[in-house]
């Protein structure tokens, strides 16, 4: 067997070794706003709803962040509110524990652990 024929076999073997094992407990978390409340869906099925007066929400798979009608950010973990912060927020997103908020004046604010890191 020459090197040209062996390459696809080695490539397939390396991808199997490098691929993480999928667990049976892997869940897909998604959120949406319905009637001012966060609806949390896991694998497409409604798990719970919470909050009130909310206009936007996002999740990173663990933490849910939402924007209230008066422009504040609320952080939720497992359906319990952790903290509330910010002002004049229109929409929000979260990535790697950092919250990015689109403000009314068109700027973006970056929050980490509830503290403002920077605006740009």
Strand 45-50 relative to strand 54-59: parallel, antiparallel, unpaired? unpaired
Contacts of 4 (CB under 8 A, 6+ apart): none
**What pLDDT sits at residue 19?**
46
Cα separation of the two ends of the chain: 58
Query: Would you say residue 84 lies in a domain?
Result: yes
pTM of the predicted structure, to 2 decimals:
0.76
Instruction: Kindly state whether residue 9 falls inside one of the protein's structural domains.
Output: no
| Alpha-carbon gap, residue 37 to 103, rounded angstroms | 21
For residue 81, give its domain range: 27-119
**How does pLDDT run along the chain (120 residues), one tens digit per residue?**
555 566 556 555 555 565 454 455 678 899 999 999 999 999 999 999 999 999 999 999 999 999 999 999 999 999 999 999 999 999 999 999 999 999 999 999 999 999 999 999
- 66 occurs within a structural domain: yes
Say if residues 56 and 33 touch (Cβ distance below 8 Å).
yes
**CATH code: domain of residue 85:** 2.40.128.630
Query: What 3-state DSSP class applies to 41?
Result: strand
Is 12 a domain residue? no
């Amino acid at each position: 067997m020459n090197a040209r024929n062996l390459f696809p076999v080695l490539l397939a073997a390396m991808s199997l070794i490098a691929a993480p094992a999928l667990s049976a407990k892997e869940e897909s978390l998604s959120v949406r706003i319905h009637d001012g409340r966060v609806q949390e869906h896991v694998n497409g099925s409604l798990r719970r709803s919470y909050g009130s007066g909310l206009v936007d929400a996002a999740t990173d798979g663990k933490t849910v962040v939402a924007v209230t009608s008066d422009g504040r950010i609320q952080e939720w973990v497992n359906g319990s509110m952790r903290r509330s912060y910010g002002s004049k927020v229109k929409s929000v997103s979260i990535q790697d524990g950092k919250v990015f908020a689109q403000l009314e004046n068109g700027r973006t604010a970056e929050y980490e652990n509830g503290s403002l890191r920077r605006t740009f």
